[in-house]
Amino acid sequence: MRNPVGWAALTAFSLAFFAFIYAPLFVIIGYSFNSNPVNMMIWEHFTFDWYTGLLGLSDRTTDVSNRAAYVESTDQMLAALRTSLTVALFTTTISTVIGTATAIALARYRFRMRGFYNGFLMLPMMMPDIVLGIGLLIFFVTIGMKLSMLTIIIGHCTFLTSYVFIIVQARIAGIDPALEEASADLGASEWVTLRKVLLPQLTPGILGGALLAFVISMDDLVITYFISGTGDTTLPVFIFGMIRRGVKPEINAIATLIILASVVIAALGLWLRSRKTD
């Protein structure tokens, strides 16, 4: 039988926990519509000026006495966004291919040190970001590789492959191997069995892992901060540079757009991950 007091305490704790986690996000979203350009904590009135300014749909610099142009250059922000999207697309593609192939190999083949290799893939996820970022920086400097967009892509692949691997591995664990055995008994080659039997069943997990890798790559700051070159600034690094000069209204607007995009992509990935095999 349920204990009313215990359930009430558990409910109160859960509500307090979620409020502690998500309240700052709602504060950022709320103040992104505040028209006060000087102190965001003092509410003036509701406005979309910071969003339209970021999108280049309005000119806020005409009234200098009442408003300040906090974004030094919209072109710089858009360039940082393009860099983030480029890195995320390449990283997602590479990580998805490697993570999926590794998950299939470890699930369907037996070889020496298989267990060690399986655990070794978890290491980048468990390692603190700052340690991984410093390690990658030392590695690139040691081999004489110039910090650029390529180093960011390589750095992101080192840990995002693990995320894709775990998601695809969980998906493949629920697939009956008898289907692949039946395909082989009917004369299909390993390639045909992979293409027509295994991959269609793995598609939700592969897409879910790819979307998760994309959103993590777009949001990463710590590792990217160490391994990015001067001319390849991603959007999180650009926002971090703005925050160092003070919390500006545009930062709240940019953060709100990132939160919205992250929620949509993550929700889509989780939905694809949870789909049952037809």
pLDDT tens sequence for the chain (278 residues): 567 777 888 889 999 998 898 888 888 888 888 877 766 777 778 888 778 777 666 554 444 344 444 455 667 777 888 899 999 999 999 999 999 999 888 887 777 877 788 788 888 888 888 999 999 999 999 999 998 899 999 999 999 999 999 988 888 888 877 777 787 777 777 788 877 888 888 888 888 888 889 889 988 889 999 998 888 888 888 888 877 766 677 778 888 888 888 788 777 766 766 665 44
Which tokens sit at 2? Answer: 């349920």
Residue 197 has which token pair?
A: 């039997």
Neighbours of 246 (CB within 10 A): 9
Question: Would you say the C-alpha torsion 90, 217, 227, 70 has a positive or negative sign?
Answer: positive
* 112-120 contact pairs (CB < 8 A, 24+): none
Q: Domains (ranges, CATH) in the chain?
A: 74-274 (1.10.3720.10)
Chain centroid, CA 251 distance in Å? 19
What burial letters (b/e) apply to 117-147, b meaning 16+ CB within 10 Å? Answer: eeeebeebeeeebeebbebbbeebeeeeeeb
**By C-alpha distance, which of 268, 256, 263 is closest to 50?**
256
* Predicted local distance difference test score (pLDDT) of residue 64: 39
Q: Where does the chain show beta strands of DSSP type E?
A: none
Using CA atoms, how far residue 95 sits from 27, 52, 158, 244, in Å, is 34, 35, 8, 32
